[in-house]
């Protein structure tokens, strides 16, 4: 391993939304559970656009006070559902995209940096259906995202000692959703002026890629014998072709033409490797200073805790995850400087009907499981792996 990052276990305060809303409240809960680091979700009463300037000033003062009193540190900030539900930086109105960059992202970066936080992560764009159906328009929107990310990365360098990360997703209209696409985003941002933007990997964000696999010729020919394709064809154009060739009965020619047409819409398809959670980490973990942690069975991603019950059917294990991260850091090829610290951040959701006692129990069980692999915050990956072998 060329480099061994420090590892930290972090609790995202999304668990506290609408219940423990003041900084002193959710920091106290984090401390009682056993966490020393938290990630602040902007959904928990501090969205830069929903909040007044005076309230934001007050909120950050409360955080500073609570940090001193509890010893808990806000390591990073992350977007929540409020911004996730927009097309954000891919907006068709350039003024809207600029507004979000300046008054949401830059504003929060300045405040977070002043607090001493290490970074800001976000899922802050989606490409609408009309653009997805037009390769030229898709390319334009993607170029807009990359350009704005270059500006955000440059601003992170300007304020100093601060990292920004975009989150990888699992459907085509929320790029990047493949490993190759993510690598390309990282490279295009970094090569502009040498300012890195990182990626946030989520252990449950590989559940959708299996639905977007490019079919084989044999699968296409076979599909014509059915009432509906039953396979992913990509664009509306390919679905229209499928209907036409199904009626004509020229299945062989139809399969060839549909496959040929798919080449123009490559961004609508994932590969087999993109369905593998651990392959994402083997390839990209060293560029992921913030990792979102959730247990998953590989089919659904409900942001489930790492309880003994969930771990029986879950596919995320400490051994495999740390090994995959180590493989990433051992790779010779480098897109940009690797992360020196990785914050394994538990982004766990709970039912509105869950009692606080149930929530606390699941959080304690989650922390207990992961402390078997990361016994203390700040331990290096090499040391953590060595301890497991001892």
What is the b/e burial string over 307-340, where b = at least 16 CB atoms within 10 angstroms of the residue's CB?
beebbeebbbebeebbbbbbbbbeeeeebbebbe
At 104 the pLDDT is 98
Is residue 1's pLDDT more than 70? Answer: no
Overall average pLDDT of the 166-182 stretch: 99
Is residue 389's pLDDT more than 80? Answer: no
Overall average pLDDT of the 244-272 stretch: 98
| Mean pLDDT computed over every residue of the chain | 98
Q: Is 6-208+277-387 a domain of CATH 1.10.10.10?
A: no
Residue 277, both tokens: 């959670």
Strand partners, 39: 12, 76
For residue 25, the Cα-to-chain-centroid distance in whole angstroms is: 26
pTM for the whole thing?
A: 0.97
At 390 the pLDDT is 64
Is residue 253's pLDDT more than 90? Answer: yes
C-alpha 62/C-alpha 259 separation (Å) is 58
Query: Strands 163-167 and 198-202, how do they pair?
Result: parallel
Overall average pLDDT of the 107-134 stretch: 98
Is residue 161's pLDDT more than 90? Answer: yes
Question: For 39-59, how does the pLDDT look when each residue is reduced to its tens digit (9 = 90+)?
Answer: 999 999 999 999 999 999 999
Higher pLDDT among residues 63 and 1, named by residue = 63
Q: Within a 10 A sphere around the Cβ of 273, how many other Cβ atoms?
A: 15
C-alpha 184/C-alpha 376 separation (Å) is 34
Sign of the dihedral defined by the CA atoms of residues 130, 206, 89, 38, in that order: positive
The residues of the chain that CATH labels 3.20.20.150 are: 6-208+277-387
């Amino acid at each position: 391993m060329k480099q061994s990052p420090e590892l930290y276990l972090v609790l995202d305060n999304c668990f506290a939304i609408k219940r423990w809303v003041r900084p002193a409240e959710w920091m106290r809960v984090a401390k009682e559970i056993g966490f020393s680091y938290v990630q602040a979700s902007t959904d928990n009463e501090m969205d830069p656009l929903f909040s007044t300037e005076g309230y934001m000033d007050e909120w950050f003062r409360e955080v500073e006070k609570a940090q001193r009193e509890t010893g808990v540190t806000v390591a990073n900030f992350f977007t929540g559902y409020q911004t996730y539900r927009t097309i954000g930086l891919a907006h068709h109105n350039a003024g809207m995209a600029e507004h979000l960059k300046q008054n949401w992202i830059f504003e929060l970066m300045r405040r977070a940096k002043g607090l001493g936080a290490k970074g800001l992560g976000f899922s802050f764009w989606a490409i609408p259906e009309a653009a997805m159906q037009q390769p030229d328009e898709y390319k334009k929107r993607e170029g807009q995202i990359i350009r704005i990310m270059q500006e955000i990365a440059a601003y992170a360098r300007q304020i100093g000692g601060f990292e920004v990360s975009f989150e990888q997703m699992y459907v085509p209209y929320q790029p990047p959703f493949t490993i190759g696409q993510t690598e390309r985003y990282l490279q295009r941002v970094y090569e502009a002026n040498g300012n890195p933007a990182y990626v946030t990997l989520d252990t449950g964000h590989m559940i959708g890629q299996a639905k977007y696999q490019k079919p084989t010729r044999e699968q296409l020919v076979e599909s014509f014998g059915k009432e509906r394709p039953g396979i992913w064809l990509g664009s509306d154009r390919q679905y229209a072709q499928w209907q036409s060739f199904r009626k004509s009965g020229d299945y062989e020619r139809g399969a060839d033409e549909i496959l040929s047409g798919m080449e123009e819409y490559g961004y609508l398809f994932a590969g087999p490797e993109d369905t593998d959670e651990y392959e994402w980490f083997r390839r990209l973990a060293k560029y992921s200073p913030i990792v979102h942690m959730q247990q998953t069975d590989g089919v659904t991603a409900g942001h489930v805790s790492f309880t003994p019950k969930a771990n029986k059917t879950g596919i995320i294990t400490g051994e495999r995850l740390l090994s995959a991260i180590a493989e990433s850091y051992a790779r010779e090829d480098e897109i940009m400087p690797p992360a020196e610290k990785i914050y394994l951040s538990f982004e766990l959701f709970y039912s509105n009907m869950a009692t606080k006692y149930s929530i606390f129990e699941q959080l304690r069980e989650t922390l207990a499981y992961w402390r078997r692999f990361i016994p203390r915050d700040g331990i290096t990956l090499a040391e953590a792996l060595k301890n497991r072998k001892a």
